Structure 1
C-alpha cells in the first residue's frame, strides 16, 4: 500500500483503536458489568454510559495529570451514581460490592493486555513513518501516552479538548494533516469509528484504514469508503511495510 499511495505519515485514533483494538468502550465496560454481576440491563447501562460521557464533556472532572485508571474510576463512579440516582441500583449494595472500582480496575487490566498486541504495531510503524495522534479526549492524553509507553512514538498529538474541535468534525483531521506536514493524500488515518474517523478523514483527502470491530451499533456503514478494512491492528502492517 505504501507504494501504491506513496504514504509519508500515519494518523492514529486512540480510544477504541490502540487501547481496545477495535472494541467500543461501551462494550468493554458492559462486559465488566456482567462479570461483576451489576444487576442492570444493557439498555439501562447504555443510559448510564451516555450520561457519563456527556457529564465529562460538560465538566472538567478529568485533570491533565490523571492517568487512564483515574479516568476509568471517574467514569464508572459517574455511571454507578447515575444508576443509583435513577433507582436502578441500591446505594448500599453498590458501595458494598464496590462496583465502580472493580469495573474500573478490570478495564485498566484489559487495556494493559491489549497493549501487548497494539503497542508493537505502533512502535514498528513509528520506525518507518511520521505518526500523529488525533483523539477526542479530556485534556490528559499526554499523561496516558506516557503511562502506556506510547508517547515517544507520536511526533504530534491533536486532542479535542485542547484544540476546541471534536470528531466527527473534519477540521480536527485537517489539524492532524497540518501537524503531519505532508499532503493529505500521503497520510493514512487508522481508526475504529466509521463515522468519527473514516468519514471525516476521507473528507479532508486522507487514505483510510478502518479497524472494524465491536462498535456502538448505530452507525451507517459503507465498507467501500475505507481503503483498507482490518479487524485486528497487526493486520495493518503488511499493507504499509
Structure 2
C-alpha cells in the first residue's frame, strides 16, 4: 500500500467544528430567540449560500465575521419575504432595528462557535505538518485564504482549493485535482478528510485517494462505502495508522 504523504481537509463542518453550517446556524437562530426548524431554515440557508457564491468580488475581502453577517443578512431577507408565516410575522414585527439586532446576535453566536472549532483544529493540525503536506479543499466564497489567515491556520497548508477561486465545486473531481496539483503529490499518496461522503469521500476516491469520513451528528446516516476510515472527531486524524 502506498505511503500517505499528504492530507487534504474539508473546511466547513470539518476544520471549523464538528457540525454542518446549517445545523450551527439553526442553533444560533434558536439561541437568538427565533423558533425555526431545520426544514424551515434550509431554503434560506441555500439561498444565502448561492448568493455568496455569486458575489465573490465582494466577499473575497471579507473575514469570517463579515462573511457570516453577509450570509445571515441574506437568510433573513429570504425568510422575511418567503419564509413560513410565523417567521415572516416575527421578523416584520421586530422592525428594521430589531432585525439588525437579530442578525448581529445570530452572527456573533455562529462566529464564536466557529472560532472555537478553528482554534481546536489549529492544535490538531499543527503537529501534522511535520509528517505530511497539508491542504484544504472546500466549497467556499473566494475568501477562504483570509479566513484561514485570521484563524492562524494558513501557515500549515501548502494548498488551498477554494471553489469560488478555482471555478469548480464539489463533488466535481476537478477541485480535488487542483489541490493535488498544488500539493505536488500523486493522488494515491493523498488522503481526503471530510464530513460528507458524497462531496468529499466519493470524488476523492475516484482519483485514487484514501478517504476519511468525519461522521458527525445530528445528520442523516450516509452510505460509508466510499470511506476507508470513519472517525467521530478530528482529533482521531493523528492516530490513524496509514
TM-score with structure 2 length normalisation?
Answer: 0.90
Aligned pairs, how many?
235
Q: Does 2:14 match 1:12?
A: no
Instruction: For 1:232 and 1:163, locate their aligned partners in 2 and report how far apart those are by CA, in whole Å.
Output: 28
Which residue in the other structure is 1:91 paired with?
A: 92
Match of 1:139, SS?
coil
Which residue in the other structure is 1:116 paired with?
A: 119
More helix by share: 2
Which residue in the other structure is 2:168 paired with?
A: 165
Instruction: For 2:194 and 2:218, locate their aligned partners in 1 and report how far apart those are by CA, in whole Å.
Output: 12
Gaps of 5+ in 2: none
Instruction: For 1:233 and 1:106, locate their aligned partners in 2 and report how far apart those are by CA, in whole Å.
Output: 22
Instruction: For 1:174 and 1:120, locate their aligned partners in 2 and report how far apart those are by CA, in whole Å.
Output: 27
> Structure 2 vs 1, CA of residues 18 and 157 (structure 1 numbering), >3 Å: closer, same or farther?
same
Which residue in the other structure is 2:154 paired with?
A: 151
Which residue in the other structure is 1:74 paired with?
A: 70
Which residue in the other structure is 1:51 paired with?
A: 47
- Contact map agreement 1:136 1:161 (CA 8 A) in 2: yes
Tell me: higher relative CO, structure 1 or 2? Use CA pairs within 8 A at least 6 residues apart.
1
Which residue in the other structure is 1:31 paired with?
A: 27
- Contact map agreement 1:134 1:158 (CA 8 A) in 2: yes
Q: What is the CA-CA distance between 1:99 and the residue it aligns to? A: 1.4
Which residue in the other structure is 1:232 paired with?
A: 233
Instruction: For 2:25 and 2:114, locate their aligned partners in 1 and report how far apart those are by CA, in whole Å.
Output: 12
Instruction: Kindly report the root-mean-square deviation, in angstroms, between the aligned alpha carbons of the 2 structures.
Output: 1.9
Instruction: For 2:162 and 2:241, locate their aligned partners in 1 and report how far apart those are by CA, in whole Å.
Output: 25
Q: What is the CA-CA distance between 1:116 and the residue it aligns to? A: 3.2
- Contact map agreement 2:52 2:59 (CA 8 A) in 1: no
Match of 2:135, SS?
strand
TM-score with structure 1 length normalisation?
Answer: 0.90
Instruction: For 1:48 and 1:216, locate their aligned partners in 2 and report how far apart those are by CA, in whole Å.
Output: 19
> Structure 2 vs 1, CA of residues 240 and 133 (structure 1 numbering), >3 Å: closer, same or farther?
farther
Match of 2:193, SS?
strand
Q: What is the CA-CA distance between 1:133 and the residue it aligns to? A: 1.4
Instruction: For 2:156 and 2:172, locate their aligned partners in 1 and report how far apart those are by CA, in whole Å.
Output: 25
Match of 2:240, SS?
helix
Q: What is the CA-CA distance between 1:84 and the residue it aligns to? A: 1.1
Map of 1:182-197 to 2, 5 A cutoff?
182-197=185-200
